[in-house]
Structure 1
Amino acid sequence: MVIDDSDIAFSNNRIINPEKLKRRHLYRFCKRIADVVLSTCGLVALSPVLLIIAGAIKREEKGGTIIYKQQRVGKNGKLFLIYKFRSMCMDADKKLEELKQLNEVEGAMFKLHDDPRVTKVGKILRKTSLDELPQLYNVLKGDMSLVGPRPPLPNEVAEYTEYDKQRLLVVPGCTGLWQVSARNEVGFHEMVELDLQYIEKSGLLYDLAIVLKTVKIMIVPNGAY
């Protein structure tokens, strides 16, 4: 299965049936098995890369942490800590208030091209999505899946409409339809539509296609920042 721009369809009127999702027992079971196997293999196989990245972060800012932990909202509103390689300066959260007026997307999400809080190493990590690798541990724990909607921040969810909250009907993912298609080129509402489209079409082959396209993007970046 191949995913391209023709797979993207914005409708703005998708209604997800929660009961239908609950009945997909076999899909959820197989997806969880795949998540455990692939995240374990990934953590082991990529351990040299993880160590190199950790060293680079530590060298750039000796007093800083390597891993960044942040509270996110998962399936059905459950809170969890997400793990990432730190790509911003240590006081990034404090500086956010000063930058909110420069937000480049509408809705409950913050995005800023050339964000001054991002470190030199962080720019490389973000461009290649390598800062997301520690999330394999989140997948192993069951907080996240390899594929699913982006896990939002609590303050973002506070601004959600009931329509937007449909994103929270499934386990969030490290990558998804939004990340492999439009990513930073669309606003919040378009992101919601892509996530709901994924939920409607989700299946093992569809998930595999998204994972494969994610690997391709990590090699040939699609404009992440």
Structure 2
Amino acid sequence: MPLTLSTPLLRARIPTVPPAKRVFDLAGAAILLTLLAPALTAATALLYATQGGRPFAREAAAGLAGRPFRTWRLRTADTGRLGAVLDRCALDALPQLLNVLRGEMSLVGPRPEARTDRPERLLVRPGMTGLWQVSARSDLPWEEMALLDRHYVESHWLGMDLAILAQTPRAAYRQRVA
């Protein structure tokens, strides 16, 4: 019998996530970490050498069923030009692959938030990329991002995840060029 999550304004069935999605996340994160390890190592070393201190930042987020966790990111907020380059190239999010391996995040899902007023987002693991990121990145109004997150939660399947992952590099490139 599926579980349900209730709030005064929302009653939704918690979607059943097939084991194949978790296997896909584990395999994908392991492959991506292996392929991108040189870039991640270089970015970490540059941040450490030029900025001193910690090259990583951890941000509070609400995960599946609202469980709190901390996302890993490269520290870019106060690192000047280097941080801007890492952010523009989307390298700052690569450490979140560790969150995927730990089961706190998925490769694809709604972006993690510290708190959310959209409980449907808590029905799936947050993702490194998602439907609204490939639809228009941050150009969408908040309401449309919320609708795309809800659509993903209600209808996601492995084929949709593959399509979103395939579109993510192009969407990130479009955002950098714009």
- TM-score above 0.5, yes or no: yes
**Aligned 8 A contact 2:73 2:94 in 1:** yes
Q: What count of residue pairs does the alignment treat as equivalent?
A: 169
Residue 120 (structure 2) aligns with: 166
Report 1 or 2 for greater relative contact order, CA contacts < 8 Å, sequence distance ≥ 6: 1
Structure 1 residue 64: deviation in Å? 3.0
Residue 88 (structure 1) aligns with: 77
- Unmatched segments (≥5 aa) in structure 2: 1-9
**Aligned 8 A contact 1:184 1:223 in 2:** no
Aligned-partner SS, 1:32: helix
Match of 1:17 among 12, 15, 29: 12
Separation (CA, whole Å) in 1 of partners of 2:176 and 2:42: 23
- Taking a change above 3 Å as real, the CA distance of residues 200 and 18 of structure 1, as seen in their structure-2 partners, is same
Aligned-partner SS, 1:150: coil
Separation (CA, whole Å) in 2 of partners of 1:83 and 1:31: 21
Aligned-partner SS, 2:161: helix
- Unmatched segments (≥5 aa) in structure 1: 1-14, 90-117
Deviations 1:75-109 (A, max 9, x none): 111100100111111xxxxxxxxxxxxxxxxxxxx
Q: 5 Å matches for 1:125-204?
A: 125-154=86-115, 157=116, 160=117, 164-204=118-158
**1:197 corresponds to which letter in structure 2?**
H
**Aligned 8 A contact 1:87 1:125 in 2:** yes
2:23 pairs with 1:33: yes
Deviations 1:163-188 (A, max 9, x none): x2111111110000111112211232
Structure 1 residue 202: deviation in Å? 0.7
**Aligned 8 A contact 2:120 2:153 in 1:** no
Match of 1:123 among 84, 92, 97: 84
Aligned-partner SS, 1:72: strand
**1:183 corresponds to which letter in structure 2?**
R
Q: State, as a whole percentage, how many aligned pairs show the same letter.
A: 36
RMSD: 2.0
Residue 3 (structure 1) aligns with: none
**1:125 corresponds to which letter in structure 2?**
L
Separation (CA, whole Å) in 1 of partners of 2:163 and 2:62: 25
2:175 pairs with 1:222: yes
Separation (CA, whole Å) in 2 of partners of 1:142 and 1:215: 23
**1:58 corresponds to which letter in structure 2?**
Y
Residue 68 (structure 2) aligns with: 79
Structure whose residues are more often strand by fraction: 2
Separation (CA, whole Å) in 2 of partners of 1:84 and 1:133: 7
Query: Structure 2-normalised TM-score?
Result: 0.86
Query: Structure 1-normalised TM-score?
Result: 0.69
Residue 9 (structure 1) aligns with: none
Residue 52 (structure 1) aligns with: 42
Separation (CA, whole Å) in 1 of partners of 2:83 and 2:11: 36
Match of 1:206 among 157, 160, 165: 160
**Aligned 8 A contact 2:61 2:70 in 1:** yes
